Structure 1
Amino acid sequence: MKKNHNWGIIGLGGIAHKFASDLNDVEGAQLYAVASRTLEKARNFASEFDVETAYGSYEALAKDPKVDIIYIATPHVFHYENTMMCLEHGKAVLCEKPMAINAEQLKTMIQASKEKSLFLMEGLWTNFMPHLQKVHQLNQYETYGKCLKVEADFSFKAKFDTEKRLFNKDLGGGALLDIGIYPVFLALKLLGSPQEMEATCEFSSTGIDISNQINFKYASGATAKLSSSFAKTTPSKAKIYFEKATVEFGSRFHQTDKLSITTDSGKDHIDFHYPTHGYQFEIEHVQECLDKGLTQSPEMPLAASLELIETLDKIREQLGLVYSEDWK
């Protein structure tokens, strides 16, 4: 049975604005409360999206008994403490990717959600978009044979600013955790964990990876060539090579609504035509899980998030990319 759900958002940056915009289009979803570190910012956000309640602290929102689920959109270095605080106050959580800085943090978060029987999911919105659902089905049913190779890149030229999150190591900055997570996720989604991996990167003066190149090899002979960068702007496309077809994602591959499929018979184009940012698919799924009383998603299970962060940990080990959270 479908219910109405009161959502709260903590962390009111650019992603939160897009999320709030799409949430307004989802049946049964009500953006009831928002929180920022400053009450003024929260009130401005609340005014923009017609939100009933604004808080100047995250904990105040988490304590509100009217809030059913909280979307965490803070910088990812804070995801662990924010999630643990929300769970402690009995709230279901959708936490923006990456859900944690490392696997040890995520294991603690998962354990807390299980002990309290509370819903917890990583907000990797791409997983729920029509284009990726389609490719996942093609792979699952081997419509064009087995997957042989994944090529994926996500890069854009970012203005160097040591105060901004992308280049600030204290805020979990770096290309891998911010945008490289998407190519890595795609390879894991279609091919699983690799048997071998090789990773190299270029560091910025602030100690974060400004660009990286990652290669996966599998026992089956399949491969993945993955990259991300803040140093240049690219089409940020992805190609999936099956035995009998090549599937190409539109730009930018993690949020596109377009696919092209090339076979011996020619090329077909698919346009999924959604006029939003694409967060509504994720939001709808979360609400379906809550309606069913689930504590984790069958489509984005916690085991998948753990596999993802463990893979990112292994890549960081090869890169020599260490955050202060790794020592805690």
Structure 2
Amino acid sequence: MIKIKWGIIGLGKIAGKFATGLMYADKTELHAVASRDLEKAKSFAGKFNCKKYYGSYLELMQDEKIDVVYIATPHAFHHELSIQCLKLGKAVLCEKPFALNASQAQEMIDTARENNTFIMEALWTAFLPHFKHVSRIVNKKEYGEIRSLKADFGFPAEYDATKRLFNKSLGGGSLLDIGIYPVFLAYSLLGKPEEILAKAKMTETGVDLNCEIVFIYSNGRKIELFSTFEEKTKTMAEIEFEKARIQINSRFHEPTSITTYVNNKHEVRDFGVENNGYTYEAEHVNRMLQEKRIESNIWTHQNTLDLIQLLDEIRNKIGLAY
């Protein structure tokens, strides 16, 4: 098996988590990192035993030894940087949200196909053991059909109009930053809804401070989703089936346990994840590259397009345009 050499562009908090996950992945090397702040790149490289660091993104993209680039910049730069990487023959794992809208996402995927180069949205939850377990239960209808689903994600964020979370020019707002996880969960387990209802509380910068979403499916099923920067929420998911109830415990998008309630009994199952969980996603990308694929067989290009189209429709409902 060939060792896959990674590069990371954008060295914020999420990049540190991903780099930590890479340390546990088989046949994997963090070869280079890049930041517009060279000292930041040097410090990050030292922390993760990385051979090279660059003060520009283009320098990293031009490093011939790199197989795949993880893009962890603010949302607004995902589209441009992914296309640059792809045109230089670098595979891309692009942090969620994949782009700011469906048009950008389609262009990124088209570029990957034109250059016969791999690209995937970094929705790491899709590769975690607890999520795959719940997905199997749903697909096999072990407890019948889903009757309802509720999922939330919230944390208190100090308001700063210049920072990423609240800056419209950087793709700020709770929906794209954390609301994407409840939306992803509902879409992954139930597909696209027949109707979407949404309302939001907006900030002075014109992005959503919180977002309430209802997905309406056949038979009148209503799925309730919520994201907020105002308060810490349970960040759990509750799924009501015909014959049981499953609770994906806090925080549902990370490695966690599930509690199954059936026949007046409950059972807690832990999945024994020994690292921070990003390893699963990285190893999946490694495997796709070794198999010379340009698209994941788990989180496909169509999955990414479906998800961004849902986010676009929600944004339209709450009046958020980038």
* Match in the other structure for 2:281: 282
Q: Is the 8 A contact 2:151 2:235 kept in 1?
A: yes
* Match in the other structure for 2:72: 73
Which structure 2 segments of 5+ residues have no match? Answer: none
Q: In structure 1, what residue type is equivalent to 2:181?
A: Y
* Match in the other structure for 2:268: 269
Q: Is the 8 A contact 1:8 1:70 kept in 2?
A: yes
Q: Is the 8 A contact 2:258 2:270 kept in 1?
A: yes
Number of equivalent positions: 322
**Which residues in structure 2 correspond to 1:241-280 (within 5 Å)?**
241-280=240-279
1:115 pairs with 2:114: yes
Counterpart-to-counterpart distance in 1, 2:256 and 2:155: 19
**Which residues in structure 2 correspond to 1:1-328 (within 5 Å)?**
2-323=1-322
Counterpart-to-counterpart distance in 1, 2:219 and 2:191: 11
Shift of 1:39: 1.2
**Structure 1 residues 221-258: Cα deviation after superposition (integer angstroms, max 9, x where no partner):** 33210000001111111111111111101111111421
Counterpart-to-counterpart distance in 1, 2:221 and 2:298: 24
Shift of 1:148: 1.5
Superposed structure 1 runs of 4+ greater than 4 Å apart: none
Secondary structure of the 1:260 match is: strand
Secondary structure of the 1:99 match is: coil
Which stretch of the first structure deviates more once superposed, 233-242 or 176-185?
Answer: 233-242
Q: Is the 8 A contact 2:173 2:209 kept in 1?
A: yes
Shift of 1:143: 0.8
Counterpart-to-counterpart distance in 1, 2:202 and 2:251: 24
Which stretch of the first structure deviates more once superposed, 147-156 or 271-280?
Answer: 271-280
Which stretch of the first structure deviates more once superposed, 218-227 or 124-133?
Answer: 218-227
* Match in the other structure for 1:326: none
**Structure 1 residues 82-122: Cα deviation after superposition (integer angstroms, max 9, x where no partner):** 10110111100000000100000001001000011100000
Which stretch of the first structure deviates more once superposed, 26-35 or 255-264?
Answer: 255-264
Aligned CA RMSD, in angstroms, stands at 0.8
Which stretch of the first structure deviates more once superposed, 75-84 or 272-281?
Answer: 272-281
Q: Is the 8 A contact 1:237 1:251 kept in 2?
A: yes
Provide the TM-score with structure 2 as the length reference: 0.99
Counterpart-to-counterpart distance in 1, 2:117 and 2:306: 21
Secondary structure of the 1:150 match is: strand
**Structure 1 residues 34-57: Cα deviation after superposition (integer angstroms, max 9, x where no partner):** 000121111111111110000001
Q: In structure 1, what residue type is equivalent to 2:217?
A: Y
Counterpart-to-counterpart distance in 1, 2:283 and 2:221: 34
Identical pairs, percent:
46
Q: In structure 2, what residue type is equivalent to 1:80?
A: H
Secondary structure of the 2:165 match is: helix
Shift of 1:277: 1.7
Counterpart-to-counterpart distance in 2, 1:305 and 1:92: 16
Secondary structure of the 1:200 match is: strand
Counterpart-to-counterpart distance in 1, 2:238 and 2:130: 13
Counterpart-to-counterpart distance in 2, 1:318 and 1:121: 27
Shift of 1:219: 1.7
Q: In structure 1, what residue type is equivalent to 2:73?
A: T
